[in-house]
Each structure stands twice: as structure tokens, then as C-alpha cells.
Amino acid sequence: MAHHLKDLTIELDEKVGTVAAAAEALGIEGICGFVVGGKGVGHVLVADSAKARQALQSAGARVTGEQDVLVLDLEDKPGALGKITRKIADAGISLNAVYLATKTRVVIGAVDIEKARAAAGEGAASRR
């Protein structure tokens, strides 16, 4: 049975060990992060958003957003990301998150995720 993965937007204090604490708190399928204005900002891909929220908050992270995302198998070669994101762009869809996940998958967030899914040519075979 396919399950829907969720993207959580998180904020962490910029100090030693905050990423480790968040990563240890739950099973993360994918993650990206960076520092903006002295705060760690990131996205994590999780299977159970309610449990992930609890675990992340217990680890000191602030969950500031949640969205459905498109999770696609990605060929492990230069240019593969460009091909899929070009299809979505050509359909006039703006992306709000793009990062890699386990098993050579790409995570794509968009304001209109269903249009992004259609533009990418994804249906029942997609990993979600």
C-alpha cells in the first residue's frame, strides 16, 4: 500500500548538535537545510507528520509548515533533475522546495502539487 510522505518546514537554533538531535528524533526520508539570519531552516521528508512534529518539537525544532510533495525516483546522473523540473516549469508551475531523499529520489514541493504531479507524468507508479 502506498503512503503519502509529507514535507515539514522546520527552524532550529544555530548551535552545535541541533541537526543531530532532530535527525535522531525520527526516521527522516530526506532532508535539506541551511542557515538564514542566524536560524537553521530546513525541510524534512517524513511518513507520519503528527509523530514527526512531536519528535522534532521535543528535539527543539519549530515546525513552521507542512505540505504534500511529489517524491520521484531520479536517475543518478547529471541533467536528470533539469529534465523533471523543466517539465514542471513548462506547465507554468512554481516550485517552493526541491531536495534529495533516500534511494535517489527527488522531493518537489509546489503550490499546486496536483498540477506538478501531472506535469511530471506521475500517476499510480510514483513513490509517495
pLDDT in tens, 35-86: 998 899 999 999 999 999 999 998 889 999 999 999 999 999 999 999 999 9
% residues pLDDT > 70 (the chain): 93
How many Å apart are CA 65 and CA 85, to the nearest integer? 23
- Residue 99 cell numbers, joined: 531536495
* pLDDT beyond 60 at 123: no
38, 102 contact by CB (below 8 A): no
The pTM assigned to this predicted structure is 0.84
Supply the pLDDT for residue 21. 87
72, 120 contact by CB (below 8 A): yes
The average pLDDT across 91-109 equals 94
